[in-house]
């Protein structure tokens, strides 16, 4: 009901349903259950919609704690939570904190992608790519797109905090260009690598 109200009704009314669901789950499952973490995460998203960023960040932090406890330090859910925390800190104009969350999320996403294996199935014919660019599995493609989105969020903060000419800005643009190449998005690859 809370999700329906959030999408099709008054998000303020949805908050009561999220709180009620959270209390039920905590009472029946305990405070460290993954369903509790997911409800906290969804509550934080709703609080973002309502502009209650201080409360949102508290909910994300507790969801992060539980997700790390249950799923381990290296999971997509942990990376997603860190990314959302970066967005909230950005909205609160806590730029250094936001950049820290984005960097942690990016590091984790890169590690998860590396563990997934090589991104491209190599062909013996080196000229084949001209007519038929190699593709990557859909799940891995989604991970690369998510990673690039995180870079896009971190880039302006890095420029703001460290300056446009800092080496970290160049490193982010290079990584973005490399990801665009993997995704066969040559125009954006060129733009990033020339940036």
Say what the pLDDT of residue 151 is: 92
Task: Give the chain's mean pLDDT.
Answer: 87
pLDDT band, very low/low/confident/very high, at 91 (cuts 50, 70, 90): very high
Say what the pLDDT of residue 123 is: 47
> In sequence order, what are the residues at sequence separation of 6 or more whose Cβ sits closer than 8 angstroms to the Cβ of residue 97?
89
pLDDT at 129 over 70: no
pLDDT band, very low/low/confident/very high, at 154 (cuts 50, 70, 90): very high
Query: pLDDT for 59-85, tens place per residue?
Result: 999 999 999 999 999 999 999 999 999
Q: Of all helices (H) and strands (E), which one includes residue 128?
A: helix 128-131
Tell me the C-alpha distance between 89 and 94, whole Å.
Answer: 5
The token pair at 50 is 């309502």
Going from the N-terminus, what domains does the chain have, and what CATH number goes with each?
1-72 (1.25.40.10), 88-195 (no CATH)
Tell me the C-alpha distance between 88 and 94, whole Å.
Answer: 9
Tell me the C-alpha distance between 167 and 172, whole Å.
Answer: 9
pTM confidence score: 0.82
Query: pLDDT for 97-121, tens place per residue?
Result: 999 999 999 999 999 988 877 655 4
């Amino acid at each position: 009901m809370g999700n329906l109200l959030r999408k099709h009704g008054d998000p303020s009314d949805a908050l009561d349903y999220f709180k009620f669901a959270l209390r039920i789950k905590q009472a029946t499952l305990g405070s460290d259950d993954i369903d509790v973490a997911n409800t906290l995460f969804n509550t934080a998203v709703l609080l973002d919609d309502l502009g209650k960023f201080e409360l949102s960040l508290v909910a994300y932090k507790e969801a992060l704690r539980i997700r790390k406890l249950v799923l381990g330090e290296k999971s997509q859910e942990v990376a997603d939570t860190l990314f959302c925390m970066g967005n909230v800190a950005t909205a609160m104009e806590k730029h250094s904190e936001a950049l820290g969350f984005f960097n942690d999320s990016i590091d984790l996403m890169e590690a998860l992608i590396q563990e997934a294996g090589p991104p491209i199935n190599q062909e013996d014919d080196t000229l084949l790519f001209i007519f038929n660019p190699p593709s990557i599995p859909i799940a891995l493609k989604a991970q690369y797109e998510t990673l690039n989105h995180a870079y896009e969020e971190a880039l302006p903060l890095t420029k703001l905090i460290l300056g446009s000419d800092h080496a970290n800005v160049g490193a982010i643009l290079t990584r973005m260009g490399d990801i665009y190449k993997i995704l066969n998005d040559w125009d954006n690859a060129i733009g990033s690598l020339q940036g």
